[in-house]
Structure 1
């Protein structure tokens, strides 16, 4: 029997129905969870409470998808025979039952059955009800009882086994375990002090006076962590004195050792967080400027928007251009410093974008290594003698980080690796070669890599 229209319409606008819909789009269409969440929250005009619950469920289910599937495997014998939306409905329900203690089971079960009726039929709703009643009685299958250590990390942290194996080979078992489980922790918002007229201590004091729960970053000397309060509502944010940026990426601009009159190329610039940080070191009066490149017009618009808000538009010039074509667009030795924040697999962002865990493969690392090398080769002739080439990624793989730098150095005898000064950051994140390598579990930030090279001749 079909649901009556009024009841059907109500359930289709419920948080749990919306969560299933978003998860379907992420899984089937490769949509980005953060972008889709923002769109749905706006289009549905959700209250802050409902928006918070929707965000918690969506991120929670994606972060723990493999854990949930293992937990449900006692009751769901062959998930491949079930429509994907049914699997997502079961995950959404099981996640709330296992991890959200404030939500009563009866509310979860009621909505699950109604969603199943709305999207399917009575038979499916009975099946969903049966599975969830079993979960309620017996609990989810316990991943901690898995004997094989690699599989236990893989299922418990919801990280594909091949990726667990990859990291064990690179950083060892204990560090891999810390890394994998750290990705289940909630990310926090961090900001960078942009204003040259305010110290970090002054910004901290002002934000605390406004009621924000804040602390200084243990990683970035200009960074602040926000633990409570919507920072975009702050007067400091509106006035362009601060900007949202992950702490690890705040370390990139200082590595260039910029002077007020530096002419800088930011070859992969969008959305402009690092670009505006570079511009903060420059002076328009001294003819310092950053030329910021991106391949997309709408991303260039983001850079310009950020530059205007942060009062550095007079030092930033934007250009729609593929970084691999930069060598054809500018004269040799045009720049004092060149930054390449290269396209990468993004594994350092797995806490913020958990779907990354399930869509990447080892071949991606090698394909991206090739693209990164092409970009470095393209921009190398544009750097003045004695200039710095700063290479960075938001990933954790050797192929995209150390291997890319070494491949470039091997093919350019006029460049040498310039070890990054330990004064910039904590020594524990500096490799023996002088690269910065930050893992998400080191400080609770995004993972990041920075290498610096100098053009000697």
Structure 2
């Protein structure tokens, strides 16, 4: 049976495309952040339509557990609904409950039209009936849910297992604040390439180009965009600017770099932190050695380095970070500084990648702490006397962060933790001489940074 031909004006509708994308995310375990830009480019929408599409995708995903709970109360028990219809209803529910730009009749009529166009008249009637009931009755009152963990899970749209871990780590009050903060849109931030210009010069140039930007309060080389697509700026194109979260801009300064240092970035791709490190290095005195296990990822590092005009300071290597002695076989090859930006579960990125909340479970990353520890062990053999290893992740789970550090220190009395340089910019996140940055504290990605010094 041939797929039904859908009118172009329906296919171009941001709500239709949001439904199609969320159906793919659910069915194929695809990553929404990769698909969103692709869909926007393909449809060549106005900024308003592109903004609506993005809002619908990320808003619906960020509140998925909440919206599914609401929707189930308007369906019969065990009622089977096609995936795309279910996603269309979730999007419409999100609009009805959380957006106020479009009146309810417009949201419902649009959903019915899409249902008829993709399905048939009966589906249109079903969608109309469900959404009219929502409009008449209102969504269920979650405060009536007696099980506290279940209620928190539905209200914060976080799985129960993750809630339990967060509550054990930071307490109930902070966990609620964290969960609510994930409903806020991500800030767009960028790092100024100080090899090319100062932050003040970059701010002036961006404002002249029409961008609404301000200085980051967290990083002295960071810019926060309140309006505008910074990756489309002239500064980005010419290598004076690169997109990077404010939290990850704290990593390079924490290495306490000097111009003549030999630095190893053990898990370097795609090269954001590598190129930041390079701005501290003099190409005639020092060098940044960027390592990744895959050749196509080392190509990304090279591309980023070339665009940011720091390629002469960076040498790439293809190798497993757990076997640095194979990558650098000479006993005399040791580094002043080593960055272990370890592979992790990525739970610090839940605001910009809400899929992570639902697509991962504890079994998916139970082996990660062992991998992270093995990379740290390998780094310890390649650091110079009095050298510094910085361990960082973009997760907020203690088993991937502080517990890995505790294990390493227990087995390496010749290392000690030292203060993270720059941590004074995020005082709420300082814990055990490390930075444990949670997404709600400064509205950044969640991040962990710990500095380990070889005592000699």
The residue that corresponds to 1:11 in the other structure is 10
Instruction: Measure the CA separation in 2 of the matches of 1:170 and 1:314.
Output: 43
Instruction: Measure the CA separation in 2 of the matches of 1:25 and 1:323.
Output: 34
The residue that corresponds to 1:355 in the other structure is 355
Q: Does residue 1:429 correspond to 2:404, yes or no?
A: no
**Which residues of 2 match residues 333-344 of structure 1 at below 5 A?**
333-344=333-344
The residue that corresponds to 1:311 in the other structure is 309
Q: What is the CA distance between 1:336 and its match in structure 2?
A: 1.1
Check the 8 A contact 1:195/1:240 in 2, yes or no: no
Check the 8 A contact 2:261/2:336 in 1, yes or no: yes
Q: Does residue 1:67 correspond to 2:66, yes or no?
A: yes
Q: What is the CA distance between 1:27 and its match in structure 2?
A: 1.3
The residue that corresponds to 2:289 in the other structure is 291
Q: Does residue 1:171 correspond to 2:165, yes or no?
A: no
Instruction: Measure the CA separation in 1 of the matches of 2:196 and 2:120.
Output: 63
Instruction: Measure the CA separation in 2 of the matches of 1:118 and 1:274.
Output: 47
Q: What is the CA distance between 1:397 and its match in structure 2?
A: 0.7
**Bigger mean CA offset, 40-49 vs 244-253:** 40-49
The residue that corresponds to 1:396 in the other structure is 396
The residue that corresponds to 2:413 in the other structure is 413
Normalising by structure 1, we get a TM-score of 0.93
Instruction: Measure the CA separation in 1 of the matches of 2:78 and 2:220.
Output: 49
Q: What is the CA distance between 1:263 and its match in structure 2?
A: 0.9
Q: What is the CA distance between 1:171 and its match in structure 2?
A: 0.5
Instruction: Measure the CA separation in 1 of the matches of 2:348 and 2:303.
Output: 26
Instruction: Measure the CA separation in 1 of the matches of 2:72 and 2:38.
Output: 33
Q: Deviations over 1:230-273 (max 9, x none)?
A: 22343333332222110110000111111111111111111111
The residue that corresponds to 1:231 in the other structure is 230
**Bigger mean CA offset, 34-43 vs 9-18:** 9-18
For the aligned residue pairs, the C-alpha RMSD in angstroms reads 2.2
**Which residues of 2 match residues 56-95 of structure 1 at below 5 A?**
56-78=55-77, 81-95=80-94
Instruction: Measure the CA separation in 1 of the matches of 2:422 and 2:35.
Output: 40
Check the 8 A contact 2:423/2:435 in 1, yes or no: no
The residue that corresponds to 1:322 in the other structure is 320
Q: What is the CA distance between 1:424 and its match in structure 2?
A: 5.1
Check the 8 A contact 2:254/2:422 in 1, yes or no: no
Instruction: Measure the CA separation in 2 of the matches of 1:4 and 1:352.
Output: 34
Matched position secondary structure for 1:452: strand
Q: What is the CA distance between 1:451 and its match in structure 2?
A: 0.8
The residue that corresponds to 1:373 in the other structure is 373
**Bigger mean CA offset, 37-46 vs 155-164:** 37-46
Q: Deviations over 1:8-32 (max 9, x none)?
A: 4542343222111111111121111
Cα pair distance change 1:176/1:4, threshold 3 Å: closer
**Bigger mean CA offset, 404-413 vs 112-121:** 112-121
The residue that corresponds to 1:271 in the other structure is 270
Q: What is the CA distance between 1:191 and its match in structure 2?
A: 1.4
Q: Deviations over 1:148-198 (max 9, x none)?
A: 443332212211122112211110111000000000000011111222464
Check the 8 A contact 1:251/1:424 in 2, yes or no: no
Instruction: Measure the CA separation in 1 of the matches of 2:78 and 2:303.
Output: 46
Matched position secondary structure for 2:225: strand
Q: Does residue 1:44 correspond to 2:54, yes or no?
A: no
Check the 8 A contact 1:293/1:321 in 2, yes or no: yes
Instruction: Measure the CA separation in 2 of the matches of 1:234 and 1:123.
Output: 47
Instruction: Measure the CA separation in 2 of the matches of 1:233 and 1:406.
Output: 43
Check the 8 A contact 2:423/2:430 in 1, yes or no: no
Matched position secondary structure for 2:384: strand
Instruction: Measure the CA separation in 1 of the matches of 2:197 and 2:37.
Output: 32
Check the 8 A contact 1:340/1:392 in 2, yes or no: yes
Cα pair distance change 1:94/1:258, threshold 3 Å: same
**Number of matched pairs:** 453
Instruction: Measure the CA separation in 2 of the matches of 1:241 and 1:66.
Output: 41
Q: Deviations over 1:24-56 (max 9, x none)?
A: 111121111010111222223333322221111
Check the 8 A contact 1:79/1:87 in 2, yes or no: no
Normalising by structure 2, we get a TM-score of 0.93
Query: Where do 5+ consecutive residues of structure 1 fail to align?
Result: none
Instruction: Measure the CA separation in 2 of the matches of 1:185 and 1:79.
Output: 33
Q: Deviations over 1:319-372 (max 9, x none)?
A: 222222333111344211110111111111000000101122234453211111
Q: What is the CA distance between 1:423 and its match in structure 2?
A: 6.1
Instruction: Measure the CA separation in 2 of the matches of 1:218 and 1:153.
Output: 31
Matched position secondary structure for 1:177: helix
Check the 8 A contact 1:212/1:229 in 2, yes or no: yes
Cα pair distance change 1:96/1:422, threshold 3 Å: closer
**Which residues of 2 match residues 190-205 of structure 1 at below 5 A?**
190-196=189-195, 198-205=197-204
The residue that corresponds to 2:153 in the other structure is 154
Matched position secondary structure for 2:338: strand
Check the 8 A contact 1:307/1:313 in 2, yes or no: yes
